[in-house]
Structure 1
């Protein structure tokens, strides 16, 4: 048994890619996409025709609609390969607009359903801003399940749990990046690896809190820089992993023992936390790393959406 198969014994493995032709190799349960991954995919010869076909078919429609149709086209291709769910992201430029996020998510689900995809096979990805979380709460009440992304802080996770969202994607690698950059020459890699990695510690805290208090929201670790971060979270509900790291796990014969334990979390001495909007905003503001990485992530996804629009106009 290779390390990837061993990991699948304790964790649902998800592929983090728009490159759906790679999926069959690793047999993930689910797959996640985002504007950056789709942008990367459509610039490859294998996928450029999907962009051209979509633009040609829906030429004259509003740009935002054509982009959603392209995202759904990729999602449908992915769902023909994976047995579970695909995550499709709402435009990051709507991250601070609850109503617009909600409306855009409804349209994406409608487009999937028009292609014969049942709603339970789609997760709508929304940035974990206060506005995004409120939109997700409304979507969940409507039976549309959500994946809250760009999640870097405990307060974001608690608010998502309160909103009863289906799934959260706490980022590991980007947290690691921030602490490493901030420490500069004082950073000692060995002291910040494995279970001591700041990104790993963040996800463990969220996982333990959810399991201790019986919060049903699924925890899916995301944004990995190396397999050590992945293995330190074995036992997490799900882990979404880029193809190059899936390949490294598949090539290793080393064990992948459980690192997170829901039963053990139930025995911890933890205090419940609640956030209303002012408390959430203050807690997020107090976390410099989360504030910076959330803003940076939204800007990056928005920039990639603009670049994708440019490619579509040129098609």
Structure 2
């Protein structure tokens, strides 16, 4: 028998994370029987929260703290420290509604610099710990792609791999998103996610599959049939699911999506020689390369906008 809402049905089948740094969103869809596991975030979400009037006091708190404690540092360092603190303070607002981890994404500006990415990840963790969130409750997101990265993530012992169901641009450019009659079978990302799920079952990895960039409740239903471990959902999608009756949609146990994982994918060492095999796999896939570069560009632009806001506040 179906649950009262479609959201309750989805929660009974897999783990639901909140793809928002708005505590009101988390509170709206949390109760004694249903809580979110993780909170995911990125530079676009941070910028969106930084511009909301409701977050003005928290934004000011981050800037004031850096201004008072980092006065001897140059303005660029102050700005970088402030955006990290802002990210942590925003996450801390949602933290009480979680049973798992808060996520923070490493800067897109360091995406092709391993040492800089590691240093930023460690810095973020230290800021979380300084603000009462232990590192055991933190997950750092590292931009990466495509199918081959699924094995690389497993080999590296990552907690999650979060393949984007829709490319990032659908959230910023009207007309890019497309609706499909049978989303599980027709959406171009479905076989990619299905192949990752299939691969992870075959190799019995501890790394979990958490699709992201989901636009509609219909896509959620399709993704459930592909068998991932988690889904991270925005406030808008959570609202759609909560408004729909659980009996309105039939959730099949597994979608019939034909996928095959090539033997060479499973046998390759994607971490060897500085990730040479992974770089080659990405470079050989023009569409994947385009989407990766586009996502990094968008996240970088959003990060720069937040830094501009912080810079103006610090220099006022």
- TM-score bracket for the superposition, by shorter chain length: 0.7 to 0.9
Task: State whether structure 2 residue 83 is matched by structure 1 residue 67.
Answer: yes
Q: Residue 170 of structure 1 aligns with which residue?
A: 163
User: How far 1:15 moved relative to its partner?
Assistant: 0.9
Secondary structure of residue in 2 paired with 1:88: strand
Aligned match for 1:294, one of 292, 303, 311: 292
Aligned match for 2:10, one of 7, 12, 32: 7
Deviations 1:287-309 (A, max 9, x none): 12110010011111111111101
Aligned match for 2:200, one of 179, 204, 210: 210
TM-score by length of 1: 0.82
Aligned match for 1:246, one of 238, 241, 244: 238
Higher strand proportion (structure 1 or 2): 1
> 2:211, 2:232 within 8 Å by CA — same for their partners in 1?
yes
- Mapped to 2, the partners of 1:175 and 1:48 lie a distance apart of 26
Secondary structure of residue in 1 paired with 2:297: helix
Deviations 1:118-164 (A, max 9, x none): 21211011112xxxxxxxxxxxxxxxxxxxxxx3x201222111111
Aligned match for 2:186, one of 196, 200, 207: 196
Q: Residue 29 of structure 1 aligns with which residue?
A: 37
Q: Residue 131 of structure 2 aligns with which residue?
A: 115
> 1:174, 1:199 within 8 Å by CA — same for their partners in 2?
no
Question: Which ranges in structure 1 are unaligned for 5 or more consecutive residues?
Answer: 129-150
Aligned match for 2:229, one of 234, 237, 248: 237
Name which of structure 1's ranges 301-310 and 25-34 shifts more when overlaid on structure 2: 25-34
Q: Residue 273 of structure 1 aligns with which residue?
A: 267
Deviations 1:94-116 (A, max 9, x none): 10111111111111111111222
> 2:40, 2:104 within 8 Å by CA — same for their partners in 1?
yes
TM-score by length of 2: 0.82
> 1:155, 1:280 within 8 Å by CA — same for their partners in 2?
yes
Secondary structure of residue in 1 paired with 2:12: coil
User: How far 1:22 moved relative to its partner?
Assistant: 1.4
Name which of structure 1's ranges 111-120 and 36-45 shifts more when overlaid on structure 2: 111-120
Please give the root-mean-square deviation of Cα atoms over the aligned residues, in Å. Answer: 2.6
Secondary structure of residue in 2 paired with 1:198: coil
> 2:168, 2:295 within 8 Å by CA — same for their partners in 1?
no
User: How far 1:171 moved relative to its partner?
Assistant: 0.4
> 2:167, 2:291 within 8 Å by CA — same for their partners in 1?
yes
- Mapped to 2, the partners of 1:176 and 1:42 lie a distance apart of 20
Question: Which ranges in structure 2 are unaligned for 5 or more consecutive residues?
Answer: 31-35
Q: Residue 102 of structure 2 aligns with which residue?
A: 86
User: How far 1:278 moved relative to its partner?
Assistant: 3.0
Task: State whether structure 2 residue 19 is matched by structure 1 residue 16.
Answer: yes
- Mapped to 1, the partners of 2:169 and 2:133 lie a distance apart of 36
- May I ask how many residue pairs the two structures share in their alignment? 281
Which structure has the larger Rg over C-alpha atoms? 2
- Mapped to 2, the partners of 1:88 and 1:100 lie a distance apart of 15
Q: Residue 33 of structure 2 aligns with which residue?
A: none
